[in-house]
């Protein structure tokens, strides 16, 4: 945890929060928290800043926070044909940490049907994983998860174009791409589509291309979905984003 995050409702009008659980445990055992110590803090989907420990009561910690800075905004959206729940569970915090805004989970042909029954799809299960990723990264923008099991209907029925109106930089991960270079990134937020473990079908790729998606590969090596996702995000990450928030932390 590089920043302790609170839900807005955990903070009182003076910016004070009292908390236990894994966050308090981290403060007490990893950060060796003591009264008077300053922590990096923030609000989920809100600003960042610092909090001073006011009180430690057994396993409960009280901090008083000043959150006066913007957190780095998300810079990319993802259309993801989900890998197996175990891989997905590892991937989710990493997606949040890397600055993904929207995650649309789609039922591509080769997604295992069992996936759609996974516990992981419940907000109560996936939200803490995403918040873990944000606390690791020190950011606050919580990715949204949207489930579109009927992928084709969503893509071609008008709802995809509605959901991503104005986001014309569209990239589909594909081993046969002509380039490992991405399109010149403009000011608009790119949308990256990543297929299932077995890959997109030819039909799926054709339909994505009909919506303006261009192929991008990672070269001759075939990477696991989770590795490929991180690698593609890293290659697409614009320089500009990297510097949107570089003023060194106090």
Per CB under 8 A, residues contacting a copy of itself are 2, 72, 90, 94, 97-99, 136-139, 176, 178-181, 217-224, 227, 230-235, 237, 239, 241-246, 248-249
- Least Cβ distance, residue 86 to a copy of itself (angstroms): 11
213-216 and 100-106 beta bridge pairing: unpaired
Which residue number, 50 or 94, has a Cβ lying nearer to a copy of itself?
A: 94
- Least Cβ distance, residue 53 to a copy of itself (angstroms): 21
- Least Cβ distance, residue 72 to a copy of itself (angstroms): 5
Contact 33, 62 (CB under 8 A): no
- Least Cβ distance, residue 168 to a copy of itself (angstroms): 24
Which residue number, 61 or 95, has a Cβ lying nearer to a copy of itself?
A: 95
- Give residue for tokens 């800043």: 49
Which residue number, 163 or 209, has a Cβ lying nearer to a copy of itself?
A: 209
- Least Cβ distance, residue 190 to a copy of itself (angstroms): 15
Which residue number, 147 or 218, has a Cβ lying nearer to a copy of itself?
A: 218
Contact 91, 196 (CB under 8 A): no
Residue 241: how many CB atoms within 10 A of its CB? 16
HSE-CB at 163 with a 13 A cutoff on CA atoms is 23
Apex 128 CA angle, 2 and 79, nearest 5: 100
- Least Cβ distance, residue 228 to a copy of itself (angstroms): 9
Which residue number, 188 or 242, has a Cβ lying nearer to a copy of itself?
A: 242
Alpha-carbon span 88 to 19, nearest angstrom: 29
In three-state form (DSSP H/G/I as H, E/B as E, the rest C), the secondary structure along 105-173 is EECCCCCCHHHHHCHHHCHHHHHHHHHHHHHHHCCCCCCEEEEECCHHHHHHCCHHHHHCCCCCCEEEE
Which residue number, 55 or 224, has a Cβ lying nearer to a copy of itself?
A: 224
Tell me the torsion sign for CA atoms 160, 166, 172, 176: positive
């Amino acid at each position: 945890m590089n920043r302790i995050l609170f839900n807005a409702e955990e903070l009182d009008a003076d910016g004070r929060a009292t908390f236990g659980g894994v966050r308090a445990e981290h403060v007490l055992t990893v950060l060796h928290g003591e009264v008077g110590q300053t922590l990096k803090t923030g609000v989920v989907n809100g600003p960042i800043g610092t909090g001073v420990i006011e009180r430690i009561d057994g396993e409960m910690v009280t901090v008083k926070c000043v959150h006066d800075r913007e957190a780095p905004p998300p810079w990319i959206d993802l259309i993801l044909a989900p890998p197996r729940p175990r891989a997905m569970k590892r991937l989710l915090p990493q997606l949040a940490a890397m600055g993904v805004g929207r995650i649309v989970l789609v039922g591509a042909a080769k997604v295992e049907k069992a996936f759609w029954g996974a516990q992981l799809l419940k907000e109560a299960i996936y939200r803490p994983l995403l918040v873990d990723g944000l606390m690791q990264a020190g950011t606050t923008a919580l990715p949204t998860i949207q489930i579109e099991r009927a992928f084709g209907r969503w893509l071609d029925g008008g709802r995809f174009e509605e959901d991503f109106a104005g986001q014309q930089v569209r990239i589909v991960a594909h081993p046969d791409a002509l380039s490992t270079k991405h399109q010149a990134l403009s000011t608009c937020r790119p949308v990256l589509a990543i297929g299932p473990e077995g890959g997109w079908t030819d039909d799926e790729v054709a339909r994505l291309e009909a919506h303006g998606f261009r192929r991008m590969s990672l070269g001759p090596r075939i990477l696991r979905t989770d590795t490929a996702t991180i690698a593609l995000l890293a290659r697409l990450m614009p320089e500009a984003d990297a510097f949107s928030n570089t003023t060194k932390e106090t």
